[in-house]
Amino acid sequence: MAKATRQSFGEALARLGAEHSEIVVLDADLSKSTKSDLFAKKFPERFFEMGIQEAHMIGAASGMAFSGKLPFLCSFGAFLTGRYDQVRLSAVYSGANVRIIGTHAGLGIGDDGHSQMGLEDVTLMRVLPTMGVFQPMDDAETQAIMDYLVKQYKGPAYLRLTRQTMPDYSDKAAPFVAGKLRKVATLGTGAKTLLAIGSGAGVAEAMGAAERLTAKGYTTHVVNCHTLKPFDSKGLMELVSSLKPSQIFTVEDHSVIGGLGSCVAEVLSENGVGVKLTRFGCQDQFGESGEPVELFEKHGFSAAKIAEKMA
């Protein structure tokens, strides 16, 4: 069922809370928005409302982690990266086993405007040593990543979530494998081959672009990157080798500096791959208020704008 990934997160958190008594949840006066309130209603004794003080929340969560708890600390991605010093030192440098949940990612939050749009968070979190960075494309993938973060992953991790509803693209029969690029679809049978890699909300725009490019004689292989760190370098090289695309493009609701596009560019350049790469996302600009569809169009990474540029 199509949902905002923040909603899927809240439902998964409440489900996993019943199975894992070590889970505790902290929020900074945004539990209805982050959907951590679903956990709070079921387990009020394990939920901590910290008020509008993210820095204190990060420190407290790190302390809880060293006391044997598994803390999920929740706020808007933009507000968490605004407390980057605490993330860097209290959580990551100390090696705390915390789960940092950044909701309201990118231009897709719409009318709330730039002050609340996480557009730099992947870049900042990705550069921190040992930090895992995850961004699901839909409900099923959010649930699977949450299971992985609770049952298998160790160390600090950042989970990036949408405010807006995401269409379902996951093949529920295929097992989720953390850290691996995931094939979503191949559209078209044209002689010209493209490889499209999306993450989070970018997957839907990549799919929409692929549908439009079919009519223009292209075959487009759409791939989802749910794990931005560690990035699947080997998987990307295998795709390039097997598909032999004439061009590659990435799509992300995030700055093109340091995010998914940079992950792909780093691997291609380090391996001497001479394929043109086009990065679609926010182009070194601030966000603004508006409807998500209008903002994606204005900033050039709507499905229509991508197809127009790639054709």
Q: Indicate whether 148 and 231 sit together in one domain.
A: no
Tell me whether residue 174 is in a domain: no
What residues act catalytically?
54
CA within 13 Å, CB half, 161? 30
CA–CA distance, 138 with 182 (Å, rounded to integer) = 13
The answer to whether the CB of 112 falls within 8 A of the CB of 292 is no
Tell me whether residue 171 is in a domain: no
Q: Indicate whether 28 and 122 sit together in one domain.
A: yes
Predicted confidence at residue 138, as pLDDT, reads 98
Q: Indicate whether 162 and 204 sit together in one domain.
A: no
Domain limits at 161? 3-166
Tell me whether residue 44 is in a domain: yes
- The pLDDT tens digits for 100-157 are 999 999 999 999 899 999 999 999 999 999 999 999 999 999 999 999 999 999 999 9
Tell me whether residue 175 is in a domain: no
**CATH number of the domain bearing residue 218:** 3.40.50.920
Q: How many domains does the chain have?
A: 2
CB environment 6-43: b (16+ within 10 A), e (fewer) = bbbbbbbbbbbbeeeeebbbbbbebbebbbbbbbbeeb
pTM over 0.95: yes
User: In whole numbers, what is the pLDDT of the chain averaged over residues?
Assistant: 97
Tell me whether residue 121 is in a domain: yes
Q: Is the pLDDT of residue 281 over 90?
A: yes
**CATH number of the domain bearing residue 144:** 3.40.50.970
